[in-house]
Structures are given as structure tokens and as C-alpha cells.
Amino acid sequence: MSSSADLNTGVARKSRRSDRRRPRISGLGLALLAPALFLLSLFFFAPVILTGVFAFTDLSTSTGIGRGQYVVTPNLLRQLGDQGLTEDDATAIASVSISIDEAGIARATEGGVDPDFLSEIEDRFAGESFDDPRAFSRELRGLPNAPRRPRELTQTAEYFETSVLNTRFDNPEALTAQLADVAPDVSSDTIAWIVDRSYTGARFTTANFERLATQKETLRLIGNTALYVAATLGLFNVGLGLFLAIVLFYTPKPVTSFYSTLWLLPRITPLVLYAIMWKWFTWEDGFLPIIADQLGLPSFNYMKGSVVTAWMTMISLNGFIGASFGLILFSGALRAIPMQQLWASEVDGANRWQQVRRIILPQMRWPILFVTSYQTLSLLSSYEQIWLTTNGGPGRTTTVWALEAFTTALSNYTGNLQYGLGAAMALVLVVVGLVLSIIYLRLFKFSELVSRPKIEL
């Protein structure tokens, strides 16, 4: 009895302890989180999952996004001819027969063709057959009651026509039936093969990843992207942001707020306007080239005129936007440093540089972590500024992964947009982003930041 009571207390004690460790799930909390979870799944998980699915397809403009149809075209027959379709089979499938028989008349009557016109067709052509639809249409046009509109005429002609070529079927069964009708001598295996190949929609494939893994271009894109992200991040987003924050930290307050606002301008200027300003700034007859000309320095279109200046332009114009982000965050973090530490260091005779090195920087680890990881991810996926300015040029020297994914999937001169390949490229970015996030979190020991405090408050 007593032992069992002890046991019970033991269980109770243990369970209380585990209660404290395990976060309690409350209904209210879930209800409050629900909108956020809904939005998260709608705007993050769903796109990522769709990208993941599309990445394994050959989706493009010519396959369409929705369900495809089944259509046998002359081009398809030609392709199949290369892969073993016999000439006889191809000819049989491509054949068109037009016969003016009772069945056709019945179909036309049911379809609502003008009875007068129909009786003329019957009187004039009953029992005849044609093998060229255009010739038949011409004959029909000669009849006194022929409709005025070409479309009505071609539709009437179609009721008498048996063919499969260029007709779109919604399901494989309908095409199979029609093929068997048009070309009864073709074996059912061949018909099944043709039906399978006639599908116009997208198919599942790993070819996108094989292509990315084997093409040389991939290496160049990776190199460009790494250089772009590292340089923009190191020089501007973190480097310049931190430098400015520290400089402003030591300057008198009225000046600080003015300069902070000034540095925000690139971020609050609409992107397209900002891109145009940079063009005005760097193009021939623009601000910089004119000044360079006055100073006797090489003066040309810096944005597109040479590989080095194109890179400098691209990194700077992105960097000035990013620098303001670092500036705000670092300024806030600096104010959190207890002033007493700085006063004490001054009493000990520390100069500004020593204060920065020994007091400020060690306490800026978390903000630097945050800016680095956040900006790496946003730079990896950003292409708009590049697209609007260098557009990956000159040549393809400043093309980064995200821009290439965008042009492949969504913006292409020839109009055949390769959604599948673009999605595969985007998926690679998502995976790289996730991996980098994990590395950053480990590197900066993020778990320490969110661990329970060592003293209870």
C-alpha cells in the first residue's frame, strides 16, 4: 500500500517535471496561430511543393500547364517514322476519307445544318467520296444554299470526314477508337504507342536535373552567383552597414538621423526608378562617365561596357539597398550596448578603435548573424535589379542563377517558356537556401540564443 503510494507520488513528481519541459499545446494558441499557418502553407509550402513537382516535368509553353490532349500531327508521324513506324502505317493514319453517306447526313442533321443546304449536298454528292478536305469544301461552296460564313461550311464538311490528323482528343480512349476506325490494319500495339506519344501535356522526367548536372553553363552560373552574393554581402550589406552604424554611433544625434534617412533612400525608391537612376548615373553621357571624362579617366558605359565595371555596378546598386538594412539593424543593436562599458573603457584610456574591436564587435555577433543569413537568402533569390540593369550582360558574364531561372521559365525571346527547367533551377535555390540556413545557424550557435536562460526570472 505504502509502496504503491510512493510509486504514485514518484509518477506524479516525474510527470510534473516532464510537464514543465514539454510545451503545453493550448487550443487558444493554435487558434491564434491558425491564420499564420494558413498563410504559410498558402504562400510558402504550396509554391515550394508545386516547384518541386514542376521541377520533375518537361512543362513548357508547348505542353501547357493544365492537362494535355491527344493529337496526332504530321510532325509526330515524322518523328515516329524515325523511331520505327512503318511508312504504310503512317500513310494509313494520315489518310482522310470523305464520304457523303447516310451516316454523315444523319450527323449533319443532328448538328443543326440548314436542311436546304443538306438536301442539296445529298442530291449532288450522295455516294461520292473525296480524299482532300479543301477540295470538298470548294465543291460545297458552289451549292446555292451554301452558308455565307466559312466556319459554317467547314463545320458541315467535317460531318462527312473520317480522319484523325490534327484533331485534338481529350482522352486516349477516344483517339484509340478513332485510330482503329481510320487505320484498321495498324496493330493495336502500334496504336497504343502512337496514342502514348501523341499526348501534348507535360510528362514526368528527371531530364532537367540531368541537364543542370552535366551542362558547363551550370558551373559559370554558380561562380557568378557566389561572387555576387559574397561581394554584395561582404562589402555592402554587412561591411558598409556596420561601418556606417559605428560611424553614426559616434556622431552627434541630429546629424545621425539625417544621414540614416539619407541611406534609406535606395530602399524606399521604387525599384524601376532606382534602376533608371543607375542607368543615368553610369551610361555614356551619364554622371560618372562625364566626370571621368573631365578627369581624363576612361569614360564609357560602365553598366554594360566592360565586365569589371558591369560587376562593380551590379554589386554597388544592390549593395546600397542592402546597406541601409544593415545600418538600421546594427544601429539598434549598438544602442543596446550598456554605455557604462564604453565610459569605463574611456577611463581606462581606450581609444575609439579599441572600443570598436574589444567592446562593440564582440557584442554584435547576433545582428551580424541575422543580417548575413537573411541577406544571403534574399540575394540568392534576387534578380530584379540585375534584370532591369545589366540584364546578365555584357555577354552572359553577370548572369546569376536566379536570373537564369527567371528567363528560362518566364521571359524568353522565342516564346517557348521552359517552366519545368526553370522550376528545377528554382528548386535548387530553395535547397541551397535551406542548407545555408542550417549552416549559418550552427556556425553562429543560434541554439544558444534561443536556449532557456541560465537564471530564472
Query: Which residue, 290 or 361, has its beta carbon nearer to another protein?
Result: 290
Can you read off the three cell numbers belonging to residue 415?
516564346
Cell 548575413 found at? 372
Pairing type for strands 129-130 and 161-162 reads: unpaired
Asked whether position 46 contacts another protein by CB under 8 A, the answer is no
Asked whether position 284 contacts another protein by CB under 8 A, the answer is yes
Asked whether position 66 contacts another protein by CB under 8 A, the answer is yes
Asked whether position 306 contacts another protein by CB under 8 A, the answer is yes
Can you read off the three cell numbers belonging to residue 318?
544592390
Q: Which of 18, 83, 340, 451 binds another protein (CB under 8 A)?
A: 83
Asked whether position 65 contacts another protein by CB under 8 A, the answer is yes
Provide, rounded to whole angstroms, the least separation between the CB of residue 195 and another protein: 17
Q: Which of 411, 434, 438, 445 binds another protein (CB under 8 A)?
A: 411
Asked whether position 423 contacts another protein by CB under 8 A, the answer is no
Q: Which of 410, 431, 434, 435 binds another protein (CB under 8 A)?
A: 410
Q: Which of 63, 178, 313, 372 binds another protein (CB under 8 A)?
A: 63
Asked whether position 79 contacts another protein by CB under 8 A, the answer is yes
Given a contact cutoff of 8 angstroms between Cβ atoms, the answer to whether 409 and 423 are in contact is: yes
CA distances from 380 to 268, 273, 290 (A): 21, 22, 33
Asked whether position 385 contacts another protein by CB under 8 A, the answer is no
Q: Which stretch binds another protein (CB under 8 A): 41-49, 111-119, 330-338, 410-418?
A: 410-418
Q: Which stretch binds another protein (CB under 8 A): 45-53, 143-151, 268-276, 355-363?
A: 143-151
- 219-226: Cβ within 8 A, 24+ apart: 220/396, 220/399, 221/399, 221/400, 221/401, 221/404, 222/401, 224/397, 224/398, 224/399, 224/400, 224/401, 225/380, 225/400, 225/401, 225/402
Given a contact cutoff of 8 angstroms between Cβ atoms, the answer to whether 161 and 145 are in contact is: no
Cell 579599441 found at? 354
Asked whether position 151 contacts another protein by CB under 8 A, the answer is yes
Query: Which residue, 162 or 345, has its beta carbon nearer to another protein?
Result: 162
Provide, rounded to whole angstroms, the least separation between the CB of residue 310 and another protein: 8
Cα separation, 300 vs 310, in Å, equals 11
Instruction: Give the 3-state secondary structure of 65-92.
Output: CCCCCECECHHHHHHHHHCCCCHHHHHH
Given a contact cutoff of 8 angstroms between Cβ atoms, the answer to whether 388 and 299 are in contact is: no
Asked whether position 301 contacts another protein by CB under 8 A, the answer is yes
- By rule CB under 8 A, what count of residues binds another protein? 54
Q: Which of 29, 47, 111, 150 binds another protein (CB under 8 A)?
A: 150
Cα separation, 442 vs 432, in Å, equals 15
Cα separation, 202 vs 59, in Å, equals 5
Q: Which of 391, 432, 436, 444 binds another protein (CB under 8 A)?
A: 391
Please give the full DSSP string across 111-167, using - where no structure is assigned. TT--HHHHHHHHHHHTT-EES-HHHHHHHHHTSTT--SSHHHHHHHHHTTEE--BT-
Query: Which residue, 84 or 349, has its beta carbon nearer to another protein?
Result: 84
Residues that bind another protein (CB under 8 A): 60-66, 69, 73-75, 78-79, 82-83, 138, 141, 149-151, 154, 165-166, 168, 200, 211, 214-217, 220, 283-284, 301, 304-307, 310, 390-391, 393-397, 410-417
